[in-house]
Amino acid sequence: MEFQHEIRRKKGKEKIIVLTAYDCQMAEVLDETGIDLILVGDSLGMVVQGHNDTKSVTMMDMLYHVKAVAKGAKNTPIIGDMPINSCNTAEKGLRNAEQFLKAGADGVKIEGNRPKVISALIEAEIPVMGHVGMLPQMAETYHVKGKKPEEAEEIFRDALDLDRLGVFSMVLECIPENLARKITDHVKTPTIGIGAGKYCDGQVLVINDMLGLNLKFKPKYVKRYADLNKVVKDAVTSFMKEVSVGKYPDEEHTYH
């Protein structure tokens, strides 16, 4: 698991780049870009399955998608997101994390401060990515966490706990930039932000969001680097027109 040492080495030196993938083809594309990590997120519940949150995602769902991504990503480390209720106890968490590794993941991500589970996994030499701030598996609504002093202090303490436990990185989701900066400055663990400002050691986005496929999901932190929604619709419209007038298939695309 050499990759986690490389991630730790980058703290304060090079920004860590993480994106999600849920299938083989996207994993193949990302594998050729040189990003640091591919996260098979339980966000697939929203962007693949069409749910309003991540709470319906099962271990079977996650393992299916991890296997698909592992077939496409031959060089980029893959992190599997432990779905809701998959690590309620240390024993259950260890058993499910081992399934992730067998499916092709190189490590797992765990939401929240779960010291017994995280300790058991790290003791078993399974790399763990932590996750503090807004926790989709537990949140009733998605909104910024840590604006209130007591909430900010709790998130800060959780981050310190994860740092002591030995996670190789931690996601800071939807928290004020000044809190993310404070955490980043006080932990040895690299921080990876999503809606947490520019002072984190790295950034992660859901691939569907940054490519402009999902136009309904519009949180402030998402920057669209492409408009694939329009590209796909334009391509389909062209296909429809060509088929309708008999232009496709032409000689070039026909067997004889």
- What is the CA 252 to chain-centroid distance, rounded? 41
Taking the C-alpha atoms of residue 165 and residue 223, their distance in angstroms, rounded to an integer, is 33
Residues near 3 by beta carbon (within 8 Å), at least 6 away in sequence: 37, 77, 106, 107, 127
* Maximal C-alpha separation, the chain: 73
Residue 178 CA: distances (Å) to CA of 157, 197, 200, 233: 15, 8, 10, 40
What count of other Cβ atoms lies within 10 Å of the Cβ of residue 79?
Answer: 27
**Three-point CA angle 154, 126, 191, nearest 5°:** 40
Q: Exactly one of 173, 177, 251, 252 is catalytic; name it.
A: 173
54 sits in which H/E element = none
Contact indicator for 42, 62 with CB cutoff of 8 Å: yes
Active-site residue flag, 173? yes
For the annotated catalytic residues, the residue numbers are 173
